[in-house]
Structure formats: C-alpha cells, structure tokens
Amino acid sequence: MKPVAVLYSTRTGQTQKIAQYVVSKLRAFGLEAELRIVARRAAAIDLGRYRGVILAASVHTGKHEREMVKFVVAHLSQLAAMPAAFLSVSLSQAGAERAGESPERHKQFAADVERMVAAFIAETNWHPQKVLPVAGALLYRRYNPLLRWIMKSIARKVGGHTDTSRNYEYTDWAVLERFVQEWAVMIQSREVVAEPYAA
C-alpha cells in the first residue's frame, strides 16, 4: 500500500511542528506517512507515490506561502484526482477560537480566515475536499527585534498577547487530532473493496 504524504511550508516553524504532529497521528491511526517540506528549492515531489496528501501552509501578511501556491498550481491535476486536505495556519484562526472575545470579533476573525483561504483557492484553482483552519503561534523569541516590535503592535491592536519575553502557541492539538483521525478513516474506508456476497 502506498504511503500518504504531509507537505508543508513554514516561515517560523509552527507549521512544521503541526505537520510533524499530523504525521505522528496518521501513523498512530495505521497509515504509513511521509513528511516533506515544500520550499523554494525543494526536491521534486512525485505525488504519484502517495495514496493521499495533506498540505499545510501558514499565512503571512494575508497570504499563504508562495512556495505552496506554486506547488499546488504545478500539481493541480494530480491533487484534484486524489484524497487531499488543506491546513491553513494563522493567528486570525487563533482569534476566532479565543475565549472571551465578543461574537462580533469572533465573526471578524473567522471572516478573515475565510477570505485568506478563499484567496488561496482562487489563486491555485485547487478545491481541497477538506480544509481545516488551524491556530498558529506567536513566537516572539524567534523573531528579530523589528519583527518582534511589529508583531507586538499587531497583537495589541487585535487583542493578542503582548509579553514579548515568551512564545505563545495557540494550536488546538485535540481538534487537529480529530481531523486527522477522520481523514485516516476516510482514506482507509475508500480503499476497502467489498467482496461479493456468496451464499
């Protein structure tokens, strides 16, 4: 049986962590899984080697990673013909999930996520069977001083954490695990060939 692939693009590492977690869960649910990075000078990835694929990309300044957009465009016909899901990682999703926000703010964050995913779909023309928005992380300790300052200003505006002496991880691992489990069941069940009933 072919393996499944988890392909990711990242800037600051959270999507890599998410992709690694997805691979570990796929394996726990009985699938052989491979982790591959989609980067600018990535080795060619042959999707024909896989029975299904989960793509994960994060959002920076309103857009998903350019490398992932290019990869999807280059592999569109194969992606459209295989079980494929998309994980969109952002801080807007963290806002949409944040306890204590007003319903209006939740709606606004969710609308931002929807808009960014819609832009990715419009740009690539890929319509994944499943999309999961995933809350990312605010990794102040990994940013350079300028980026730390910029991210703090944004966080202040949108009601996020502003203590730059630490990192904040908002990813809901339990939600992600459920998604992966459902996807693994779907992959496995679509390949069960029913034996004709013999009386």
Residue labelled with tokens 């209006």: 104
The verdict on 51 binding ligand FMN (CB under 6 A) reads no
DSSP state of 44: P
Nearest residue (CB) to ligand FMN, 47 versus 119: 119
Q: By CB under 6 A, how many residues form the interface with ligand FMN?
A: 19
The verdict on 60 binding ligand FMN (CB under 6 A) reads yes
Nearest residue (CB) to ligand FMN, 52 versus 133: 133
Smallest gap from Cβ 132 to ligand FMN, in A, equals: 14
Binders of ligand FMN among residues 122 to 181 (CB under 6 A) are 136-138, 151
According to CB under 6 A, which one of 7, 10, 31, 50 is a site residue for ligand FMN? Answer: 10
The verdict on 62 binding ligand FMN (CB under 6 A) reads yes
Please, what sign has the CA dihedral across residues 144, 36, 46, 121?
negative
CA separation for the pair 3, 137 (Å, rounded): 29
Q: How many C-beta atoms surround the C-beta of residue 52 within 10 A?
A: 25
| Minimal CB distance residue for ligand FMN | 136
Interior/surface letters 74-86, b for 16+ CB within 10 angstroms, e for the rest: ebeeebeebbbbb
Residue labelled with tokens 């793509």: 55
CA separation for the pair 126, 12 (Å, rounded): 25
The verdict on 92 binding ligand FMN (CB under 6 A) reads yes
Smallest gap from Cβ 111 to ligand FMN, in A, equals: 12
Q: Coil, strand or helix: which one is 58?
A: strand
Which residues contribute to the site for ligand FMN (CB under 6 A)?
Answer: 10-15, 58-62, 89-92, 136-138, 151
